[in-house]
Every structure is written in C-alpha cells, then in structure tokens.
C-alpha cells in the first residue's frame, strides 16, 4: 500500500519513484528519502512544463518557467512552492559533507511530495477533484499498512447520531425545568390562598368590640329619644 496509489493510473514511473521514497523512509534512510522526493519533484515539474521545455534546461530553469506563467491559482502556487522546497532539501542532502539522518525533514518532504503529486494529478492530468480531500497517512508511511478511517458516510452518520442525542437531552432538561417551575408556582398559589393566621383576631377582642359597639348604640338612642 502507498499514499501515492492515485499516481498509478496516471504515470506508473512517477508512482514507482514516490513509492521508493516511502520505502526509504520506512527503512530510516532519511537522506536517501529526501533525495528521492527531489527526483519526484523534478519529474513532476518536467511533465508540467512539457513542450515549453528545452533539453538543456535544468530543474531551476523549469521552476522559473512555471513561476513566470500568468494566471496562477492557489493550487498552482502551492505546487510551485512545494517543488522549490523539495529541490532545496534534496540539493542540501546530496551535497552535504556530513550524513544527517533527519527524520523530521524527510517526513516534511514526503508530505510536500504528496501535495505536489495530488495537485499535478488533478490540475494537470484531470484526476477527479475529490482526491484533493485525501489526507497523507503517516501510519501507512511508517508501517506500509493503511489506517482504518471512517468513510465520509460513516462520519456523517456518527455526527447525525451525536446531534440527535444532544437534542434529546436538551428536551429532557427543558421538560424537567418546566415541571419544577410549575411545581413552584402551585406551591406559591397554595400559600397565597391560605388564611393568614397572623392577621386573625383573638376571640376576646371580638367580644369586646361587639360590647363597645352596643354601648355606643345605646348612648345614641337615649340622647335622641329622652329629650
């Protein structure tokens, strides 16, 4: 298995170069891996330049030719940037006096080579643009075995299930809150309608007020009718 399987249907030779780079990385020949990604980048560039290429032109000249091409979109700019990066890293690896088994740089070169190859396949060779969503698999690079990843449909179904659970829990929480509110209101109504014990008059006070009222009536009666 390879991250570059999409190249098989486009250019078998380019696929072999990329696959060899992956194997070199897996075996921890990082400098050779970096050099191999430079080789891939140069051949990608050569194919893109095509008829505009003269036999005497080297990698630098081809890159300058691509850079000077008008109407570049973001993917073309990214493609050229990746080629420049791979050329520089590869040159430094080839001409370095000391061996530097830099795994991090080799991994970066593999990522860049993958992105450059994808852009080449889609925009130069007409590969379906859905491949632009493809992600580089580091585990596949390290082990040669593809990581089990959920498909887009599985991801959608999983997200749909999560959202449904969230809505269900939200409804339960809302219903519980309303019930508590109604219970509180009912309690308030009960207490509101209950007689206020503190305001009720004692019996002796009611009798005294009744007697006083009777005396007032009697006094008024005698004053009026005894004249």
> How does pLDDT run across 143-195, given as a tens digit for each residue?
988 766 554 444 555 666 667 767 767 666 665 555 555 555 555 554 455 55
Mean pLDDT within 71-76: 75
Using alpha carbons, select from 124, 142, 148, 149 the residue that is nearest to residue 2: 142
* Residue-averaged pLDDT of the chain: 80
The reply to whether the predicted model has a pTM over 0.85 is: no
From 36-50, 59-73, 124-138, 210-224, the region with the lowest mean pLDDT: 210-224
Distance, C-alpha 28 to centroid of its chain? 32
Element (H, E) at 197: none
Confidence tier at 77 by pLDDT (50, 70, 90): confident
Phi, psi of 36 (to 5 degrees): -70, -35
The beta-carbon contacts of 8-17 under 8 Å, at least 24 apart in sequence, are: 9/127, 10/121, 10/125, 10/127, 11/47, 11/125, 13/43, 14/40, 14/43, 14/44, 14/47, 14/117, 17/43
Using alpha carbons, select from 45, 34, 28 the residue that is nearest to residue 109: 34
Element (H, E) at 127: none
């Amino acid at each position: 298995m390879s991250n570059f399987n999409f190249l098989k249907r486009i250019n078998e030779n380019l696929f072999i170069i990329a696959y060899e780079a992956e194997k070199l990385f897996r075996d921890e020949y990082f400098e050779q891996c970096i050099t191999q990604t430079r080789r891939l980048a140069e051949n990608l560039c050569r194919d893109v330049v095509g008829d505009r290429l003269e036999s005497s032109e080297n990698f630098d000249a081809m890159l300058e030719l691509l850079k000077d091409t008008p109407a570049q979109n973001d993917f073309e700019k990214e493609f050229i940037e990746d080629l420049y990066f791979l050329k520089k890293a590869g040159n430094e690896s080839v001409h370095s006096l000391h061996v530097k088994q830099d795994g991090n740089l080799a991994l970066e070169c593999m990522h860049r080579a993958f992105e450059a190859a994808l852009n080449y396949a889609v925009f130069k060779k007409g590969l379906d643009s859905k491949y632009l969503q493809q992600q580089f698999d580091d585990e596949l690079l390290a082990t040669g075995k593809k990581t089990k990843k959920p498909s887009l449909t599985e991801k959608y179904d999983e997200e749909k299930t999560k959202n449904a659970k969230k809505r269900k829990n939200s409804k339960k929480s809302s219903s519980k809150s309303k019930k508590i509110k109604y219970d509180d209101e009912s309690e308030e109504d009960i207490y509101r309608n209950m007689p206020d014990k503190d305001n009720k008059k004692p019996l002796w006070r009611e009798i005294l007020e009744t007697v006083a009222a009777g005396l007032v009536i009697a006094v008024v009666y005698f004053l009026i009718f005894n004249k």
